[in-house]
Structure 1
């Protein structure tokens, strides 16, 4: 199963954001990586460089490889609506992302692993495809045999408040929730300028 396995903090420092979650190493070095550290004078980025960086940030944030991301963009481009917004909605509708948003896993990478290891169900059916696209009304839950796993129970009990994602409902007691609808752009908390991604792929 292809995925990015390189250094996470180095990528986060390149984008200037903790896209993989909280990192003490990032807090110590909040500047781009490089042998000269923070003392290096950096040139102003071109429009193309800004567009490419925004695409890379979205790709690493949601855990997609290049071909997957390009295919998803083309799918968004064929749908009605604003392409950039539709792209983010499709990313949010991925099963691994929804498992992360529900608090079943602490990170998207951990959510992807839970899905791949057959711990997650969609509408009562075990689904091991992290990129599975959820539709409005789909019920996502933890498989019966997996509900007793300590790591899952700890994650669910530690989740602060799933209500900050109004397109998702989740019941910790039942260990299942619903993907209510595609989120509106202003509801998605990720700091991504999707218009730059559209401009990059439109060249």
Structure 2
């Protein structure tokens, strides 16, 4: 199955968290703070159901497929320390997430589309893979094309930049520098990482 392209508001309502940041999806959860569908009395969720919901938060928030998430999980298990925290830090280091966190775009899907369409450069090299892992010292810039500069300058003016201390974004030059690796405290998603680890370890 490919990437999810259905109604984003339904996902936010199902998970009870704004994993999608578009205005319509956020308003959908604000208007109806209950899951979609026929609202009969619901059974108490099982441990499997709770773990699945937490996993889905990560999957939709970062725009991952199950295979990609499992690959990150296997990498996280090989890293010393808390596996759940390492998993989320790996997801935070994705290029599309950094482009969003810096303030180039309003949402992660928008950032991913821009990267795939070769709008961005990493250390002076044009890239088209949203899953590239950034490192401290990496510089993210736009290609030197007037139409792209004008487009993203207009977008950046209306973007609320998530608070973070590991990315420096210069709005005047439309460039971002990764100053250090993110920590677990920099993760903006509210998720129970331990439940995700237990679910993916099954």
The normalised TM-score by structure 1 is: 0.91
- Following TM superposition, the consecutive aligned residue runs of length 4 or more in structure 1 with deviations greater than 4 angstroms are 146-149
The structural deviation recorded for 1:92 is 0.6
Distance between the aligned counterparts of 2:3 and 2:153, measured in 1? 26
Shift of 1:161: 4.5
Note the C-alpha offset of 1:148: 4.4
> C-alpha separation between the residues in 2 aligned to 1:174 and 1:73?
36
* Aligned match for 2:36, one of 33, 38, 46: 33
RMSD across aligned C-alpha pairs, in angstroms?
1.6
Distance across 2 between alignment mates of 1:25 and 1:44: 24
Match of 1:24 among 23, 27, 51: 27
CA–CA distance in structure 2, aligned partners of residues 69 and 139 of structure 1? 26
Q: CA deviation at 1:26?
A: 2.5
Match of 2:168 in 1: 169
Residue pair 2:14, 2:36 contacting (<8 A) in 1 also? yes
Cα deviation, residue 146, structure 1? 5.5
Match of 1:85 in 2: 85
Stretches of structure 1 that go unaligned for 5 or more consecutive residues are none
Provide Cα deviations, 1:31-66, integer angstroms capped at 9, x if missing partner: 101123xxx211111111111110011100100011
Q: Normalization by structure 2: what TM-score?
A: 0.92
Query: More deviation in 93-102 or 145-154?
Result: 145-154
Provide the aligned length of Structure 1 versus Structure 2.
Answer: 198
CA distance in 2, matches of 1:69, 1:106: 23
Q: Give ranges in structure 2 of 5+ residues lacking alignment.
A: none
